[in-house]
Amino acid sequence: MTEVLVIGRDDGAEEAVGAALDSAEFDLFRVRTVTEAADLLHQRRFDAIVIDFDDASKGVGFDLAQLLGLFLFVPTVALVDRFAPEVATQLVQFGAQDTLVKSELGDRRLMVAINCAISRAHMAHFDTLTGLPNRALMFDRLNHAITQTRRYGNQLALLFIDLDRFKFVNDTMGHEAGDTVLKTVAGRIRGCLRESDTVARLGGDEFIALVSNLEQTVSAATVAAKIVEQVSEPVMVAGDAATVSPSIGIAMFPEDSESSDELIRLADAAMYQAKQTGGSNYQFYRPDMNGAALRRIGLGVALQQAIRRKEFELHYQPQVDLTNGDVVGLEALVRWRHPDRGLIPPDQFIPLAEELGLMNPLGDLILEAACTQIKKNWKASGQLALRVAVNLSAHQFDRDDLLDHIRTWIDRTGLDARALEVELTESSIMRDPESATSILSGLSEAGVRVTIDDFGTGYSSLAHLKRFPLDALKIDRSFVRDVITDANDSAIVRTVIALARHLGLHVVAEGVETEEQLEFLRANECQLAQGHYFSPPVPADEVPAVIARLEMRQAAPTPERMRAGA
């Protein structure tokens, strides 16, 4: 049943419309003025509008744009007394899908015009992939829901939903699989809500759900929890399971804000908080989040500036060979020297740089600084044997010209490539093992060493690990931390050491803080280690002193040796 609202004072025209739509398919409602129509449209939806334009535009106090702007999201057919091309064009510009002459509605003309208007409006306002309302229609529904909620004194919840790991699914399983996941997720979110609620797709992997007629905020939480549960179920794509999960931010009308733009912004801030706490959960908006979101936006602008002004410096942490106590290398770790806030650690800006697409220019600065530093300082001071490891983020590993780029810096600084090492995480390599193989081979041919960082936190295929030209595995510091107290962690550390030996790779333990951890690693024949036990990362000019101290410590007799010698 297609419900059509007919607007006009002309009884003759109404009769003509009634005759043209005299079928069980159509249900007609009539109002005489645009004001009445506007009131009715605030209360309920219609499938289509037929508006007697000559009549409506006469003396009702609305101008043309305002008139049709009101009905922008309802498929509309305008009726005119006489056809005039300029008027017809203008009507379409203002949102009418078609214009018909009143005396020519028969022969199914009006019927076809209405059905076409409905499908055209559908194409303009619905997302083709998921069939959900798009951003434009969502705003219309939101404004409508706000009016309704205000009228009945209820509450409205706006849920901002963003998928975790969607990019990963898209990158590893392909775009078609990505599309299937989006369609499935859309259906699942839809299934968690009532028919009268709106679910829209904003674009990408972002959705909005409007839950109206709420009595208490508790039920918004119930809906959100249901969405988290359902969307987190694996999606089967051609026999493979793709798993994504939602991060949901919730803003309430009228409690948090009374404006539609603001509600979306607040829900977005809450969503960001949900992501920060690990994803796959929901968060209600709290005023202190706004600050966090604003700071984040402020920081983004500042970060761009900082890259232009080169406000970054590298600190270096020594890596020690446990068999003889020698310092064999340094890991370069970036810091942002913010003019007002002082030294900002990488965890606070690297993820932001990735999100904002700034990782490549930032990575350039880091590589330049590391290569220049290796060449300048340490070569001059005779510490030639030290290699320096630079961390590469997944985004840098994705770029096609990474290899050229690294070679350029090596050539430009006249560096011995063997002095350079790169650290890559498991997930950035495993994302596309084929292209990883070729990039890693290129690096290895150039003489650059490759270490897999944070090993144990991702999932590596052993088959691939064997094929990649690698130099070392670095055991993530989360395992080293509890290696003494947690049986699982000590088992993992032992396994990684054994795996590295089996694959003919070096193994490095990071985050070593205590004598006990060190003893455990030595006992299990872990060759290399770094951590605060030896030294925290220090500025370049302090490196020689740190190395001197470590080598002194090694040369000095340990308490045991003294006792043995006594």
Q: How far is the CB of 521 from Ca ion (least distance, A)?
A: 15
| Residues in contact with ligand C2E, shown as a per-residue x/- string from 332 to 371 under the rule CB under 6 A | -xx----------xxx--x---------------x-----
| Residue 535 near residue 543, CB atoms below 8 Å | no
Residue 121's binding partner out of Ca ion, ligand C2E, none, with CB under 5 to 8 Å set by partner kind: none
Query: CA-CA-CA-CA torsion for 35, 38, 39, 43, nearest 10 degrees?
Result: 170
| Residues in contact with Ca ion, shown as a per-residue x/- string from 130 to 169 under the rule CB under 5 A | ----------------------------------------
> In terms of Cα–Cα distance, which of 179, 203, 199, 175 is closest to 189?
199
Q: Distance from CA of residue 554 to its chain's centroid?
A: 47
- Residue type (1 letter), 340: D
What are the residues facing 2 on neighbouring strands?
26
Residue number with CB closer to ligand C2E (164 or 423): 423
Residue 347's binding partner out of ligand C2E, Ca ion, none, with CB under 5 to 8 Å set by partner kind: ligand C2E
Q: How far is the CB of 393 from Ca ion (least distance, A)?
A: 11
| Residue 303 near residue 349, CB atoms below 8 Å | yes
Regarding 517 and contact with Ca ion (CB under 5 A), the answer is: no
| φ/ψ of residue 476, rounded to 5 | -60, 145
Q: How far is the CB of 348 from ligand C2E (least distance, A)?
A: 9
Q: Which of 97, 99, 373, 391 binds Ca ion (CB under 5 A)?
A: 391
Place of tokens 């009418």: 96
Q: CB within 8 A of 175, min separation 6: which ones?
A: none
Residues 436-455 that bind Ca ion (CB under 5 A): 453-454
Provide the token pair at 180.
């299937």
Q: Which of 392, 402, 472, 521 binds ligand C2E (CB under 6 A)?
A: 392
State how far the Cα of 389 lies from the Cα of 404, in Å rounded to an integer: 18
Q: How far is the CB of 402 from ligand C2E (least distance, A)?
A: 12
Q: How far is the CB of 451 from Ca ion (least distance, A)?
A: 8
Residue 329's binding partner out of Ca ion, ligand C2E, none, with CB under 5 to 8 Å set by partner kind: none
Q: How far is the CB of 388 from Ca ion (least distance, A)?
A: 12
> In terms of Cα–Cα distance, which of 41, 117, 124, 38 is closest to 79?
117
> In terms of Cα–Cα distance, which of 141, 344, 417, 338 is closest to 132?
141
Q: Which of 453, 473, 507, 528 binds ligand C2E (CB under 6 A)?
A: 453
Angle between the N-to-C axes of helices 287-309 and 359-373, in degrees from 0 to 180, rounded to the nearest 10: 50
Helix (H) / strand (E) element for 423: namely strand 420-425
Regarding 14 and contact with Ca ion (CB under 5 A), the answer is: no
Write out the residues near ligand C2E by the rule CB under 6 A. 317, 333-334, 345-347, 350, 366, 391-393, 423, 453-454, 477, 510-513, 531-532, 537
